[in-house]
């Protein structure tokens, strides 16, 4: 059995509110996908700088300043998948916004930035300790298990992307992610593995068999006629 985490790719704060209303009462953890239009071509809230959605920017600033809270924060834990350039300088904002988990994509950083992230926000960091925030590193389907060999004992979990085109939902599942999950499980048996992208009832079974402990599900859940029923089907695997 794997933990099922609904994923929201918010094109506006209003969409985030609407989808969190749907999730409330059905899931305790939600992943919010953050795209800056630089590391990936897509843009999501709160990085809508070239749009007229200035109110969203102001809302995010209020949340970061803790003048306002994310919807349903009392019942839902939030993890932020940072598909952004220079994530090191952005992490503090998302911690202030209420992150329980932060995910950084390994290909979004150079060696020095990754070193700084691990130092300040890794498993043995004194910075994150008081906040109980966990750090995950995301890999693409064509990455190798060896790519995290030097940091595996310093991160809380690894996230395997189930799709090749990150930053977008409704993408085809990349079967190479199953092999990567299997390799990671063999190399780092104590490291929890999440999979994000292309997860449905069929792929979920394969990923759980390969060793995945957490499955992040976006369009398959939110496009379903019966959100709660589909979520329960996934939870029952």
- In 3D, which of 110, 104, 103 has the Cα closest to residue 5? 103
Q: Which residues of 142-165 are buried (b: 16+ CB within 10 A; e: fewer)?
A: ebebebbeebbebbbbbbbbbbbe
How far apart (Å, rounded) are the C-alpha atoms in residues 198 and 173? 4
Q: What is the 3-state secondary structure (H, E, C) of the chain?
A: CCEEEEEECCCCHHHHHHHHHHHCCCCCEEEEEEEECCCCCCECCCCCCCCCCHHHHHHHHHHHCCCCCCCCCCCCEEEEEEECCCHHHHHHHHHHCCEEEEEEEHHHCCHHHHHHHHHHHCCCCCCCHHHCCEEEEEECCCCCHHHHCCCHHHCCEEEEECCCCCCCCCCCCCCHHHHHHHHHHHHCCCCCEEEECCCCHHHHHHHHHHCCCEEEECHHHHCCCCHHHHHHHHHCC
Q: What is the pLDDT of residues 24-69, one digit of tens each?
A: 999 999 999 999 999 998 999 999 865 555 566 688 999 999 999 9
Query: Is residue 37 within 8 Å of residue 44, measured between CB atoms?
Result: no
How far apart (Å, rounded) are the C-alpha atoms in residues 78 and 32? 7
How far apart (Å, rounded) are the C-alpha atoms in residues 61 and 65? 6
- Please tell me the predicted confidence (pLDDT) of residue 229: 96
> How many residues can be counted in the chain?
237
For the chain, the average pLDDT equals 92
- Please tell me the predicted confidence (pLDDT) of residue 53: 55
- Please tell me the predicted confidence (pLDDT) of residue 168: 72
**Which range, of 161-170, 187-196, 202-211, averages the lowest pLDDT?**
161-170
**Which range, of 2-16, 74-88, 120-134, averages the lowest pLDDT?**
120-134
- Please tell me the predicted confidence (pLDDT) of residue 128: 58
Q: How confident is the model at residue 132 (pLDDT cuts 50, 70, 90)?
A: confident
- Please tell me the predicted confidence (pLDDT) of residue 30: 98
Mean of pLDDT values over 149-175: 90
Q: How confident is the model at residue 205 (pLDDT cuts 50, 70, 90)?
A: very high
How far apart (Å, rounded) are the C-alpha atoms in residues 55 and 155? 35
Domain containing 134 equals: 3-235
Q: How confident is the model at residue 164 (pLDDT cuts 50, 70, 90)?
A: confident
What pTM value is reported for the model?
A: 0.94
Looking at residue 129, which CATH number applies to its domain? 3.20.20.70
- Please tell me the predicted confidence (pLDDT) of residue 199: 96
Q: What is the count of structural domains for the chain?
A: 1
């Amino acid at each position: 059995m794997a933990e099922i985490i609904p994923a929201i790719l918010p094109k506006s704060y209003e969409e985030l509110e609407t989808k969190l209303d749907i999730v409330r009462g059905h899931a305790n953890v939600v992943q919010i996908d953050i795209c800056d239009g630089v590391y990936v071509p897509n843009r999501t809230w709160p990085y809508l700088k070239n749009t007229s959605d200035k109110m969203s920017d102001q809302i995010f600033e209020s949340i970061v300043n803790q003048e306002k809270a994310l919807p349903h924060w009392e019942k839902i834990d939030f993890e932020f998948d940072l598909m952004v350039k220079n994530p090191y300088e952005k992490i503090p904002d998302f911690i202030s916004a209420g992150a329980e988990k932060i995910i950084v994509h390994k290909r979004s950083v150079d060696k020095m930035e990754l070193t700084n992230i691990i130092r300040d926000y890794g498993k043995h960091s004194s910075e994150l300790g008081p906040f109980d925030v966990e750090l995950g590193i995301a890999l693409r389907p064509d990455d190798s298990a060896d790519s995290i060999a030097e940091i595996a004992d310093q991160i809380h979990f690894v996230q395997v992307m189930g799709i090749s085109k990150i930053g977008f939902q409704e993408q085809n599942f990349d079967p190479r992610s199953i092999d990567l999950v299997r390799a990671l499980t063999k190399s780092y048996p104590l490291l929890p593995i999440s999979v994000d992208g292309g997860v449905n009832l069929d792929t979920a079974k394969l990923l759980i068999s390969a060793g995945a402990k957490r499955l992040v599900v976006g369009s398959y859940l939110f496009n379903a006629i019966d959100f709660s029923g589909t979520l329960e089907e996934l939870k029952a695997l």
